[in-house]
Structure 1
Amino acid sequence: MRNKLLSFLPFLRQIILFLLIQNAAAPLFAQSSKRILKEAGEYFESGDYINALPIYLEYLKADPEHPQANFNTGICYLQTIHEHKAVAYLQKAYAKMPAIHPDIHRYLGEAYQYNHQFKEAIDAFKAYKAIAVKTLTKDLSLLPILERRIYECQNGLTYLDKPVKAQIDNIGPIINSKYAEYAPVISADESVLVFTSRRAGSTGGFVAIDDNQYYEDIYISIKSNGKWAEPKNIQEINTDKHDACIALSSDGKQLFIYKDSRGGDIYVSRFDALKNIWSKPQSLGETVNTKYQEPSVSMTADGNTIYFSSNRPGGLGGLDIYMSHKDAKGNWGEAINLGAPINTPYDDDAPFIHPDGQNLYFSSRGHAGMGGYDIYRCSMETNGKWSVPENIGYPINTSGDDTYFVLSADNRHGYYASAKEGGLGEKDIYIISMPKRETLASATGSAIKIEKKIEIKSLPLDQPAIKPTAGATTILSGYITDAFTKESLEAEIVLVNNENSEVISEQVSDSAGFYKTVMLSGKNYGFSVQKEGYLFHSENYDIPASEGFQEITLNVELKKVSVGSRIILRNIFFDFDKATLKKESTAELEKLLSIMNEVPTLKIEVSGHTDNKGSADYNKKLSERRAKAVVDYLVAKGVSPERLGYAGYGMGRPLVSNDDETGRQLNRRTEFEITGK
């Protein structure tokens, strides 16, 4: 027994020494903890939750049960992008001191909601509401907000019970960093990604006086062989202030930018393929931008209509979604409020018009959501009106703010930014493998109605918002080269609606000769490639309305303007069995006229060709009359008849076999050949 006691004495001495040190250090710790809480409290009371939070977290390592520190930590988290982390701290504060704050039930309800604990959130909101009504000591103006919160939680229970089959993946460390990345925008074929980041290396540097982050800059990444390249800072756009991207045209050539000028305006920058740079951003004009805020925009694939958000007076709520058409001079016309059922008495923002021109995605606080902004989709119906918006479901939507969603032309991949657990930084960009549309979630009920008398200049009930379009897109891309040298050419690419000769898009192929353009189903397009010193090349694409998403590769070899060069005029059309030029031929005829005017000494022969249907003699005469019709058009426009010849070859010079309709269609054509220069 004595030996055991002797062996224990060294340990006993250590225990006594530890207790003595602890007793001596206790006053020091108390003094230190008071200083820490005072420092955190000063930040907290001034509303600087970002700086208060880490101090409270550090303090709780030493005193994890402190009620006030836990409560303040929870409140700090509610003001960050990690709101769901608030619940554990508020729960502990409430357990230790139920009367810690008169609004503890409301804060707990918010924390539960952000954490997707919707049943608990409903109970907490109802408890707060009961106290408010019973005691009349609380601000009763909060009651509609509480009702909205309860409604959102009820929706949340429905969405969580029936999640959509969407896979959400971090786009990865090539794009995302330890800093914030958000507002991703893509070209229709997902080959171009532009996004905003607050990473180190920002043009404006560090914002020490603001929120201890770097200024926003815009970055671009190009996908090659299925992989994103290292993002590049678009230096010609970024300034020493905040610069944020908000939309990209379907072809990736027009970038829309938000600038914090006046209330906040929308600008556009265009890509100059010849110089390989982006132009200086230009304002969209006074019909779009006002002294109020215009934070987001999206443009249709044809470039003729934009959808944007604004909080200007006369709307249904805070931010409303508007539309504007481009006029004949290229300016944006009057802003028209989309009205109900899209806009609500709350904020409706971040519109994205799909490349098909028929489906509109946007974020809203007012429709049947789970909390904050949720993403919704509505479609253009045959009567020209928008359908009732539908929530695209959980897990894409959450109880936080889900905004700036974009979707690829083939409807397979969505992109947005989110602050998810396990991310690489503050906010990361995520790619969503989208569910089929028929699986989108639905919640019982609709947006809460709030009586509000508003006179709004909106669309008349009998006037379509836009002409309904087909539901799919065709992406046409390829390379332009010299037919003889095979060298890449920077050529002008023009896409025309043959129905009305309207120019849908104009662009220049890049230094590698590459181009890309987008066409909607249900139209007849004239596609042409032209460059000074070369004959133009034309193609016709008559895309039926039933056509689904498709990608077409067309590589074009341009021929020099030289004697013997010949091209096919693929957009010259005649009435059946007649030599009468159809109006759809106008754009192509004008290109031919342009060549004749550019080279005043040029002499050509226009030739007509048919398939093998009918007699040889009849076809020869028909083809000759058709060739003459083209010549007559040019003569009427001032071209000397001495420079023009025509011939009809009927079925005598087929390009391919006439054994099937595809071949026969190719053989029915009009050509012109240079006979003198």
Structure 2
Amino acid sequence: MYHQNYKAKIILVLGFIFFFMGSHLNAQSTKKRALKRYERATYLYSQGMHEEALLFLDEAIDVDASFFEAYMLKSQIYEKSKDWKRAEQSVIKALDARPQKRQQWLESLVRVTFRSGNYNKAFEVLQEGDKFEDWSMKDQLLAQSVHYAREAFNDPTVIHPTVLDGNVNSEESEYYPALYASGDRMIFTREVEYPGKPFGQEDFYEAELVDDAWLMVRSLSEINTIRNEGAPSIRGDGRILVFTACAGVDGSYGNRVGVGSCDLFQSVYDVKSAQYDEASNLVALNSSGWESQPALSADGQSLFFVRAFRSKQTNEVVQDIYLTERNEFGDWRKAIRLPDIINSKGREENPFLHPDGESLFFASDGLPGMGGMDLFVSRKQSDGSWSVPENLGYPINTDGDENSLQVFGDGRKAIFATDREKTGNLDLWQFELPEAVSANAVALWTGAVFDSESKKPVDAKVRVLDADGAVLSAQRSNPDDGQFTLSFSSDENVIIQVEHPEFAFFSTMLIGGKDLDSFVSIALDRLQVGMTMTLRDVRFEKSSANLENSFQPELEQLAKTMLQSEIRIKIIGHTDSDGTLENNLKLSSLRAESVAHFLEDRGVNRSRMELKGLGAAVPIASNETDIGKALNRRTEIVVIN
């Protein structure tokens, strides 16, 4: 019975190998001893005993040095273990033994030569194929990659990667860093030994940057369990943590509740306890498949992640990047697959959105590259589309797999995981990105919102807008301490808005990020009868009562405040002293009227507004200077009941 099963498995495996080789002929060797060892090797291969199979293949080749099929099976085994150099050597020996098969197997030689990092040789083999009249590459991605890799290899980018200073790296593997937007703290994954487990245990740790050295702060004991936690991602201020947890071999999640094989979980940082709270399953995003490698935007409003599942049509595993965004209630919307310009026919993984909100870094093996998983960057366009991904180049990308990339706020310095010093032991390193593939430098706007009277923190909506009113980043200030952290491009003029329905709004413009205070305290005045709100950024046409046809940040906030409350207001227009008394009174009255029309257009009932123009009668600064005149040209909003 054993003999029959053994023979049946030999036939099945040989059939697979011959299909792989494009031939239905039996293995060809004139020496029976070689054939017997080859048959034994195919059986061992079918049982997953690859090392043992290689021993018998070597014995077969010792007997028959021209045994083509034995060399090709060796190549296949080496490919499975990603030992590309030995795979290349085996194919070369096979084709040397059977030169007449060279054209038939030329594409295989291109593939293994390319994957071994022998880019110039792969290009030569590809060119050799062009000499055959009836030959063409079936794998066009491979052909494109050979051309790209040869050019990149011969014109490498100059980078100087260095291992992180400090005590973060250890004899264990460290990987998947998650940087705070400030660039001085991070959470990372470490694989540690765990008693009673035959393999490593993944846990989270936190580190901070002190005098250019990364020092361990603590283990995230409130998150870590005896099961694996992986791929952490944090909001820019570190106060929201999204990570991956997977079911164990028993199919359970331990003390967590799961949906699929691997799920996304979220935990919120508790300011009072200085720990993350109990993680909850992001049920709306998880499926029966595999969700992992989350990437929160710096403001926490967007979440990229990787989803993998087996296609019902092809039975192949599909692995793509998805995006979800929060709705007005703070809940995650249905995740949408990123377009084909990002997601290829291969695998995409490890997304990271830089705090500039535009530069999406990710890894892919389905785009032209150096082999394996390469790192790419795509830019979000003004219309919401994504640019064609750009390969980060050689030697950032190599013939191996690259991932775990994070980029600091300056857009140039990057951190990644590599085992280039000791194979199998990943450590965290850093380097500077070439300018062509760098992100935009960002400024951080960090502060706290509080009640001007009680001094208690306020849970307010804080937003950064561009000049046209598009939201660049948004966040709610923390109800426990009022703090927020938002980022924007450091060379961009932005509008800052803070609002809460029970308080007068705050609005200001920042000219780039050069003179930005490290921490800003914003005191909000509670809405009450008799209070006055001074609007300094109502944009009128020059010497006219007509509003400019542009975004009006303060008026938009005023309209929102009135629609969220029942207050009545008096709109008072003021001018500087230029012009006659009569003209200034008329201009200020007409400008108050224009403001009222704006509010009406936004849905505010006219009966809730009174109007008055005071011209230059009530200055708040000297009209002898341009600065004073600018302060006097204002619109005041008085709450009357």
TM-score w.r.t. structure 1 length? Answer: 0.62
Number of the residue aligned with 2:202: 216
Unaligned runs of 5+ in 1: 1-85, 201-205, 441-469
Number of the residue aligned with 1:79: none
The whole-number CA distance in structure 2 between the counterparts of 1:550 and 1:541 is 12
Number of the residue aligned with 2:339: 338
- Alignment match of 1:149 (pick from 112, 117, 140): 112
How far has the Cα of 1:568 moved from its partner?
3.4
Number of the residue aligned with 2:292: 295
Amino acid at match of 2:180: S
Paired residues for 1:337-486 under 5 Å: 337-340=338-341, 342-380=342-380, 386-421=386-421, 426-437=425-436, 473-480=442-449
The whole-number CA distance in structure 1 between the counterparts of 2:353 and 2:214 is 24
How far has the Cα of 1:273 moved from its partner?
4.6
Amino acid at match of 2:393: G
Number of the residue aligned with 1:127: 92
The whole-number CA distance in structure 1 between the counterparts of 2:374 and 2:410 is 22
Number of the residue aligned with 1:455: none
Contact 2:299 2:486 in 1 (8 A): no
Indicate the SS of the match to 2:161: strand
- Alignment match of 2:187 (pick from 186, 194, 206): 194
Contact 2:532 2:637 in 1 (8 A): yes
Residues 580 and 185 of structure 1, relative CA distance in 2, 3 Å threshold: same
The whole-number CA distance in structure 1 between the counterparts of 2:276 and 2:479 is 13
Number of the residue aligned with 1:653: 619
Residues 559 and 285 of structure 1, relative CA distance in 2, 3 Å threshold: closer
How far has the Cα of 1:294 moved from its partner?
2.2
How far has the Cα of 1:407 moved from its partner?
1.4
Number of the residue aligned with 1:171: 164
- Counting matched residue pairs gives 527
- Alignment match of 1:263 (pick from 261, 266, 279): 261
Number of the residue aligned with 2:557: 588
Amino acid at match of 1:396: I
Indicate the SS of the match to 1:476: strand
Residues 557 and 336 of structure 1, relative CA distance in 2, 3 Å threshold: closer
1:558 aligns with 2:544: no
- Alignment match of 2:498 (pick from 528, 533, 537): 528
Number of the residue aligned with 1:243: 229
Indicate the SS of the match to 2:290: coil
Contact 2:72 2:91 in 1 (8 A): no
How far has the Cα of 1:149 moved from its partner?
3.1
Answer with 301-310 or 413-422: which moved more: 301-310
The whole-number CA distance in structure 2 between the counterparts of 1:382 and 1:289 is 30
How far has the Cα of 1:336 moved from its partner?
2.7
Number of the residue aligned with 2:276: 278
Amino acid at match of 1:427: L
How far has the Cα of 1:224 moved from its partner?
6.5
Number of the residue aligned with 2:477: 508
The whole-number CA distance in structure 2 between the counterparts of 1:671 and 1:238 is 54
How far has the Cα of 1:517 moved from its partner?
1.0
Contact 2:295 2:303 in 1 (8 A): yes
The whole-number CA distance in structure 2 between the counterparts of 1:383 and 1:612 is 44
Query: Quick one: percent identity of the two aligned structures?
Result: 22
Query: What CA deviation, in whole Å up to 9, does each residue of 1:391-436 have, x standing for no partner?
Result: 212332233321121212321211211123179x932222222222
Indicate the SS of the match to 2:587: helix
The whole-number CA distance in structure 1 between the counterparts of 2:623 and 2:163 is 52
Contact 1:493 1:509 in 2 (8 A): no
How far has the Cα of 1:375 moved from its partner?
0.9
Indicate the SS of the match to 1:437: helix
The whole-number CA distance in structure 2 between the counterparts of 1:364 and 1:595 is 47
Query: What CA deviation, in whole Å up to 9, does each residue of 1:217-265 have, x standing for no partner?
Result: 2233345676655333334433332112343334544322112152322
The whole-number CA distance in structure 1 between the counterparts of 2:180 and 2:540 is 36
The whole-number CA distance in structure 2 between the counterparts of 1:626 and 1:274 is 48
The whole-number CA distance in structure 1 between the counterparts of 2:224 and 2:322 is 27
Query: What CA deviation, in whole Å up to 9, does each residue of 1:511-553 have, x standing for no partner?
Result: 6664311246878644116597xx545123377xxx7999664
Amino acid at match of 1:172: D
Residues 350 and 596 of structure 1, relative CA distance in 2, 3 Å threshold: closer
Amino acid at match of 2:235: S
How far has the Cα of 1:608 moved from its partner?
3.5
The whole-number CA distance in structure 1 between the counterparts of 2:274 and 2:621 is 39
- Alignment match of 1:622 (pick from 576, 587, 599): 587
Contact 1:610 1:668 in 2 (8 A): yes
Contact 1:271 1:277 in 2 (8 A): yes
The whole-number CA distance in structure 2 between the counterparts of 1:384 and 1:563 is 43
Residues 301 and 481 of structure 1, relative CA distance in 2, 3 Å threshold: closer
Indicate the SS of the match to 2:292: coil
The whole-number CA distance in structure 1 between the counterparts of 2:94 and 2:631 is 75
